[in-house]
Amino acid sequence: MKMVGSESPNDSSPQLAKKYGITKPISLAGPAEADRHRNMELDKFLIDSGLYESKEEAERRKEVLDRIDQIVKGWVKQLTRQRGYTDQMVEDANAVIFTFGSYRLGVHGPGADIDTLCVGPSYVNRDEDFFVVLHNILAEMEEVTELQPVPDAHVPVMKFKFLGISIDLLYASISLLVVPEDLDISDGSVLYNVDEQTVRSLNGCRVADQILKLVPNVEHFRMTLRCLKFWAKMRGVYSNVTGFLGGVNWALLVARVCQLYPNAIPSMLVSRFFRVYTQWRWPNPVMLCSIEENELGFSVWHPRKNPRDRLHHMPIITPAYPCMNSSYNVSGSTLRVMVEQFHHGHRICEDIELNKAQWSALFEPYLFFEAYKNYLQVDVIASDADDMLAWKGWVESRFRQLTLKIERDTDGMLQCHPCPNEYVDMSKPCSHCAFFMGLQRKEGVRGQEGQQFDIRGTVDEFRQEINMYMFWKPGMDIFVSHVRRKQLPAFVFPDGYKRSRVSRHISQQAEKTCVDVVGCQSAFKERRPKRKNDPAMMDAEPSNPNKRVSIRLGCLATGDVDINSEVRSCGKQLGSEEEGVKQNHVHNGETVVDDSVSRAEQTFVSNKLPEVKNEVLAVEKPSPMELLASYELPNAVTGEAYQIGLNGDKVGVAFM
Ligand code: ATP
Ligand code: MG
C-alpha cells in the first residue's frame, strides 16, 4: 500500500541550483533570526490550536488503511476466481490502495477524512464490481458505518466510516491484467485506454504526488499549508462547493509561493503568501509547471482553445496531466470576498512583522453576521436525519448557483457573499438547517432613486432547480427569505449569545397540509447611503401599496385542500423592527410563543382576509412548493412580515 510518509523528495538545505516552477524565484533569501523566532511562535500556535492529530490517531489511521488494503485485495481475488481465470492469475490478482488529499500531503488534522483510491485490474469494473460487489462486502462488515455510494458524482466515490474514521474511496480500473504492488501512479502509462471518469479518479493521487515533487521543501510547504488552511477556515473562505477554495486549491496556491521563495521558512511564507495574492492579477493562472499536452488527447485547461476556460475567474491549475483548473467553482463574488480576505491577512502579517500583533490576530474568526445589513436565508427542511443529510447536500451543491443567478439578474449590482457554513436549529436538529448569503449593493455604483433589486424571479428559478431533485421525498422543502441583520435567527450565533429581542413563532404541522412559507420575499429597494463610508447599504423601504402575498403550502398527502378552511386570516404583524417582533419565515414544528408574538397575534387576528384565490385545490401529488393562494394586502410594505393564520393553532408568515 502507498502511504504518506517521509518520502519527501526534497531535503531542507537551501535551494540554489534547482529551479522550481515556471518562472524565476522572487527571492532566494533565507530566514533572519526574527523570522526563526516568529516561526517557532507560529509552530506553537498551530499545535496549541489542535491542528495536529495524536500519535494514537495516526496509528489508527494506518491500521484502518491496512484493513482496507486487505479488503480490496480479497475482493479482486474473489472476482478473479469467479471469472474463471487460471490459478496463477488468481494468485497474482491484486488491487492497490493509494492515498491522496490532505492525508497524502501530510496536512490533515484530527478527525479529517482519508481520501483513498483503489486501483484494480482491467477486468474489475466500477459500476458492478466496485459499486455492487465491494459495496456489499463493506455493508456486511461491523467496522463499516454510514456507507454511502455516490456512483453518479463527477468523481464517483464510496463514502463510509471504518472504525469511526471517514473514508472517501475512489476506484480506477487500469489497462493491466495484474496491478503491481509498486505501481507508479505518476507514470503517464496508467492513463492508457481508460475513460474520463477513471482519469478523474486517478487525478487526485497524481496531483498530490506532483505537488510534493514540485515544492522546494516539503516540511516548509506542509506547515505553511496547515496554517493557510486554518486561516481560510476561520475567515470563511474554505469551501469548494460554495465557490471558495478547497484543500487542493489552497495546496496549489501555497506550493506556488514556496516555489517563488525557495529558501523561506513558514513564518516568511505565510506573509509572502498574502503579499503575492493581494497583488495577483486574476484571471492569470497559478501554475506549478507548464501545461503539457500529449497524444492521449485528454482535454487540458487552455483558455485560447476552449472558450469556457476563458470564463474562469481564478484559475489554479493542477500539475499532473491532464492539467485542469481546480477552482472552476469560483465566481466573481467569491473571488472578490477572497481578495478582501487576502488584504486583511496581508495587513495583519505586516503588523506581526513589526511586532505590533501576534499570530492569533491572523486567525480571528470572520464575523459574517456582522458584516452585512441584508442577508438571504435558505431554510432547508426534511422529515428525518437521513432525508436531511441528502436534501441539504443537494441544496448546498446548488447554493452557488443562486449567487451566480442573482449577480446575473442584477447585472452585478447586487453582490452576494455566500457563507460556507450551515446553521442548524438545535431545537430541531434533524429537520431544519439554514444557509445564508450576505447581500450588498456593488460598491461605488449609485443606484437610481427608488431602484429596487427584485430577485423574486431569480429565487423562483433557483427553487425550481432545487425541486428537480431526483430523490425528493415528502417533507423535503426549502424556503428562501430576505432577512435584515437584526432579524437573523438566534441559532446562527455562537453558544451563549442570547438576543434580547427575539421573536419566534413557528407553525404546527397540519395532518395534511403543513404551513410553509410563503411567497417570495425579496424586493430590495436601494436608498442613499446613511454614512459616508458605507455606500453599499441597502434597505427595504415602504413601497407601493396593495402588494400581493403568495402563499405556498407544502402538501404532504394527496386529495383536496380547501384553502378557505385552512387559511383564516392574513394581516400585518404588530410591531416595528425595533420591537423585534418581525418574523419572516415559518417551519413545521413546535410553536414557541413569547410576549412579542402574542402581541403580534392579537393584531393580526383582527385583520380581515382581503382576497382568496384558488379556493379548493386538487392536490394530485405531494408537493413541497404548491402555490395555493395569493392575497392583496392594503398598504403592504416591502421588507415587512405578514402573518397567515391557518386553522388550528397554525401560523404562517409571509414576507414581502
Ligand atoms: P481536507 O483537509 O479539506 O479534506 P483535501 O485536500 O483532502 O482537504 P478534499 O476536499 O478532501 O480536500 O479533496 C480530496 C482531493 O480530491 C483533493 O486533494 C484533490 O486531489 C481532489 N479534488 C477535490 N476537489 C478537486 C477539484 N476541484 N479539482 C481537482 N481535484 C480535486
Ligand atoms: Mg480530504
Residue 285: predicted pLDDT: 97
pLDDT number for residue 386 = 87
Radius of gyration of the chain from its Cα atoms, rounded to whole angstroms? 28
pTM value surpassing 0.85: no
> Alpha carbon of 397 to those of 218, 239, 329, 391: distances in Å?
33, 11, 11, 10
For 277, the grid coordinates are 495574492
Those residues of the chain that have pLDDT short of 50 are 2-12, 496, 498-632, 634-656
pLDDT at 640: 44
Q: Is 572 helix (H, G, I), strand (E, B) or coil?
A: strand
Smallest CA separation from ligand 1 atom 2, residue: 102
**Which of 166, 199, 248 is the pocket-test mutation for ligand 1 (most atoms within 8 Å of CB)?**
248
pLDDT at 112: 93
Which residues sit with Cβ closer than 5 angstroms to ligand 2, an ion?
101-102, 113, 115
Q: How many Cβ atoms sit within 10 Å of the Cβ of residue 328?
A: 18
pLDDT of residue 16: 55
Query: Cα dihedral angle (19, 20, 22, 28), rounded to 10 degrees?
Result: -70
- With a CB cutoff of 8 Å and minimum separation 6, the contacts of 537 are 373, 440, 441, 527, 529, 530, 531
Q: Residue 628 contacts by C-beta under 8 Å, 6 or more apart in sequence? A: 551, 552, 553, 561, 563, 614, 617
Residue closest to 447 by CA, chosen among 474, 487, 410, 399: 410
Tens digits of residue pLDDT in 272-329: 999 999 999 999 999 999 998 888 889 999 999 999 999 999 999 999 999 999 999 9
Which residues are registered as beta bridge partners of 494? none
pLDDT digits (tens, 9 = 90+) for 115-149: 999 999 999 999 999 999 999 999 999 999 999 99
Q: What pLDDT does residue 18 have?
A: 73
User: What phi-psi label fits residue 140: left (phi over 0), alpha (psi between -120 and 50 degrees) or beta?
Assistant: alpha
606 catalytic? Reply is no
Dist. CA 251 → ligand 1 center (Å): 9
115 labelled catalytic: yes
State yes or no: is 182 an active-site residue.
no
Pairing assessment for the beta strands 114-120 and 165-173 based on DSSP bridges: parallel
Q: Determine the Cα–Cα distance for residues 470 and 623; give it in Å rounded to an integer.
A: 14
Report the atom number in ligand 1 closest to the C-alpha of 328: 27
Domains of the chain and any CATH numbers:
55-209 (3.30.460.10), 217-362 (1.10.1410.10), 371-494+504-605 (3.30.70.590)
- Determine whether 238 is an active site residue: yes
Q: Which of 98, 115, 117, 244 most suits a substitution to test ligand 1, by most atoms within 8 Å of the C-beta?
A: 115
CB within 8 Å of 471: residues ≥ 6 apart:
390, 394
Four-residue CA torsion sign, 33, 38, 44, 47:
negative
pLDDT of residue 108: 96
Q: Which amino acids bring their CB within 6 angstroms of ligand 1?
A: 100-102, 108, 112-113, 115, 204, 207-208, 240, 246-248, 318, 326
Do the Cβ atoms of 197 and 126 come closer than 8 Å? yes
